[in-house]
Amino acid sequence: MMPALEARDATVRRAGRTLLEAASLTLEASELTAIVGPNGSGKSTLLRALSGLWACAEGVVLLDGRSIADLERREVARRLSFLPQDARCDFAFTVEEVVSMGRHPHRGRFDPEQASDNVAVEKAIQRCDLVELRGRTLDTLSGGERQRVAIARCLATEPEVLLLDEPTAHLDLAHSLALLDLCRSLAASGHAVAFATHDLDLAARYAAQVVVLREGHVRYRGRPEEALTPDTCRDVFAVETEVATTASGQSTLVFRSARKEQAS
């Protein structure tokens, strides 16, 4: 089966700097992928390249087998949603109005809302626990609440592929876990979902595939137990890692500083 989204030797250069070099990976339908790496390793660059927002200087990104650079942006927007780290909306729209904006790729500029639009918006609002906030304006919400609104807007598009850059960064623990449960549920229902994160333990617990970046290169890729080994964590993150088993039988990662051990 053809991957939902694929990068083949994708290289991104900006302002004379190479930010991503010869990156290759596939995002499959019904699979949740975590993209991890230190600060500046290229996680956001990779997601922007996968979304088609940043063009590849070399290589190609394929959406359902077709070069994303050759597709009309409207078609891409209907099939792929990307949530950047710095998603902002400075106008006093209500939560429901912002989530409804996710339906724009499916309508002409002056087309009225259809029943299908209302259903998609309502489903997104419920999935992101925003029912009680739907009439509030964005300027009255906390950072975590705004993040959930931005995610709901992406979901309202009903994309085949969902790309999220640090989606749990502003969320409390309960909503972080709820979001990752939602991502796993979306993948199980047939979507290709990828999220960038600094939390290696959550990546290992939730993702079917983990992509590890360092200095703009894909260094490791595979199932969590293959990509997040003690050797990988030492090589990429400069930490010593122990794989422990919880009382419920889940595997968890325990970290300690490799530099501290070397110093002692």
> Given the DSSP bridges, would you call strands 217-222 and 239-245 parallel, antiparallel or unpaired?
unpaired
Higher pLDDT, residue 231 or 264: 231
* pLDDT score for 264: 46
Checking if the pLDDT of 17 tops 90, the result is yes
* pLDDT score for 261: 53
Checking if the pLDDT of 235 tops 70, the result is yes
Burial of 116 (0-12, 13-18, 19+ CB in 10 A): exposed
Checking if the pLDDT of 32 tops 90, the result is yes
Checking if the pLDDT of 121 tops 70, the result is yes
DSSP letter (8 states) at residue 159: -
Checking if the pLDDT of 251 tops 90, the result is no
Checking if the pLDDT of 13 tops 90, the result is yes
- Supply the range of the domain harboring residue 249: 229-264
Checking if the pLDDT of 41 tops 60, the result is yes
Higher pLDDT, residue 88 or 50: 50
What value does the mean pLDDT of the chain take?
A: 91
Percent of the chain with pLDDT over 90: 76
Q: How many domains is the chain partitioned into structurally? A: 2
Verify that 54 and 183 share a domain, yes or no. Answer: yes
Higher pLDDT, residue 245 or 31: 31
**144-186 tens-digit pLDDT:** 898 899 999 999 999 999 999 999 988 899 999 999 999 999 9
Verify that 237 and 252 share a domain, yes or no. Answer: yes
Q: Are 174 and 183 contacting, i.e. CB atoms less than 8 angstroms apart?
A: no
Tell me the pLDDT band of 120, cut-offs 50, 70 and 90. very high
Verify that 261 and 171 share a domain, yes or no. Answer: no
Residue 191 vs residues 30, 178, 261: alpha-carbon distances, Å: 5, 17, 42
Q: Are 42 and 20 contacting, i.e. CB atoms less than 8 angstroms apart?
A: yes
* pLDDT score for 62: 97
Verify that 243 and 184 share a domain, yes or no. Answer: no
CA distance 117 to 94: 17
Q: Are 210 and 36 contacting, i.e. CB atoms less than 8 angstroms apart?
A: yes
Verify that 128 and 243 share a domain, yes or no. Answer: no
Verify that 119 and 165 share a domain, yes or no. Answer: yes
**70-93 tens-digit pLDDT:** 999 999 999 999 999 876 666 789
Verify that 233 and 184 share a domain, yes or no. Answer: no
Verify that 128 and 257 share a domain, yes or no. Answer: no
Verify that 169 and 54 share a domain, yes or no. Answer: yes
Verify that 189 and 240 share a domain, yes or no. Answer: no
Report the CATH number at residue 135. Answer: 3.40.50.300
Verify that 201 and 261 share a domain, yes or no. Answer: no
* pLDDT score for 126: 94
Checking if the pLDDT of 111 tops 80, the result is no
Q: Which of 39, 40, 41, 59 is nearest to 49 (CA)?
A: 59
First to last CA, the chain: 51
Tell me the pLDDT band of 110, cut-offs 50, 70 and 90. low
